[in-house]
Structure 1
Amino acid sequence: MDKFTVLEGVAAPLKIINVDTDMIIPKQYLKTIKRTGLGKGLFSEQRYKDDGSENPDFVLNKPAYRNAKILVAGDNFGCGSSREHAPWALLDFGIRCVISTSFGDIFYNNCFKNGILPIRVTHDELEKLFDDADRGSNATLTVDLTKQEIRGPDGGTVKFEIDPHRKHCLLNGLDDIGLTMEKKTSIDTYETKAKELMPWL
């Protein structure tokens, strides 16, 4: 998992509440167990028309936001079913941070396991960040995980809270397997002793 330290980039404003995981990545894309290639399906029902052509009105299809790294979204983002494909699709598109007032619990947890930083802010802070994001490629946000702050293009800052363990994992690029491998020396020592004490196993 790639480390998350400081992220600077364009933020796309998605002013929709209750965006569920089926909207993020529709069910027809769930046949794969690969984490790559799902970016094309991200918000596909909003990004594409019935004939397969792009919907020019959807935010991620607008020139200023095609390479967005941050998503500023309405309340209750990632609600609905528990599909890990949702953060996979965001990450494959290039989104490394999602900012909202609230998240679906399972989606929120899945983000951390896949190298995406979900940030909770107040409604007033969200409105300010929407204003910044509305400026498109003329303005970028900087998300500093070490300092736990979002810096706007005009120098304003928004502080955010994060669980220390999750912060440690993101800063060091540790998913569940990576966390286990931090204990490799202890695991190897145990396995060696176990073979000596119980050679029949």
Structure 2
Amino acid sequence: MSPFRCLESPIACLPQANIDTDQIIPARFLTTTTREGLGRHAFHDWRYDAEGRPDPDFVLNRPEAAQARILVAGPNFGCGSSREHAPWALLDAGIRAVISAGIADIFRANALKNGLLPIVLPEAVVDTLLAQPGLRLKIDVAKGRVYWPEGESLPFALDAFSRTCLLEGVDELGYLLSQHEAIAAYERRHEDTAHVA
């Protein structure tokens, strides 16, 4: 994973509510255990017509969404099954953060473990964002804030461990491996204590 500290990007807006993981990445594309290439199947049934041609009306196919790394979506984003392929597909499609008024717990956990930042903001704020596709936002992970072009900002909730992993660009295993010296020192102290007893 690459470190995620600050991100400035235009937003792509997908106002539908209850976007489930099967809409994010349909089950027929879950035949791989690698992340590469899943981005072309993100929102497949919405992005392409029956002949496999891109639908020019779909949000992510529009020219203004080409540079968008932030997806703003309707409430209850990522509901449904627990497939980890959903955040993989979004990341491979270039999305680094999802903003919604509600994000499903399992999707949120999977997203954070893979370097995709799920941000929950008040519904009124998200509704305002959904009406402004292309608006450029800045996300500061260390400060836990989303900034508007005019300088206004709002905080978002992010636990300390997830923040650390995003800032350092590591997953849970990577974080544990980075603590090798501290773990070894603890084990040495524990061995010493065990011998005294």
User: In 1, distance between residues paired with 2:171 and 2:116?
Assistant: 11
Name the residue aligned to 1:119.
119
**TM-score if structure 2 supplies the norm length?**
0.90
The two structures have a TM-score, normalised by structure 1, of 0.88
Which residue among 137, 142, 145 is the counterpart of 1:141? 137
2:15 matches 1:15: yes
Q: 1:159, CA displacement in angstroms?
A: 1.7
For the residue of structure 2 that corresponds to 1:77, the secondary structure is: coil
- Please point out which of 146, 157, 161 is paired with 1:161: 157
> RMSD across aligned C-alpha pairs, in angstroms?
1.7
- Equivalent position of 1:84 in the other structure: 84
Matched letter for residue 81 of structure 2: S
Cα deviation, residue 153, structure 1: 2.3
What does residue 101 of structure 1 align with?
101
Which AA in structure 1 matches 2:139?
A: V
CA distance in 1, matches of 2:140, 2:131: 20
Cα shift at 1:67: 2.5
CA distance in 1, matches of 2:160, 2:131: 30
How far, CA to CA, are the matches of 1:95 and 1:14 in structure 2?
A: 13
Residues 53 and 98 of structure 1: CA distance in aligned 2, closer, same or farther (over 3 Å): same
The runs of at least 4 consecutive aligned structure 1 residues that moved more than 3 Å come to 186-191
Q: How does 1:32-111 map to 2 (within 5 A)?
A: 32-111=32-111
Q: Which amino acid letter does the alignment assign opposite residue 13 of structure 2? A: P
Query: Number of residues paired by the alignment?
Result: 189
Paired-residue identity, %: 45
| Whole-angstrom CA distance in 1 between matches of 2:142 and 2:179 | 24
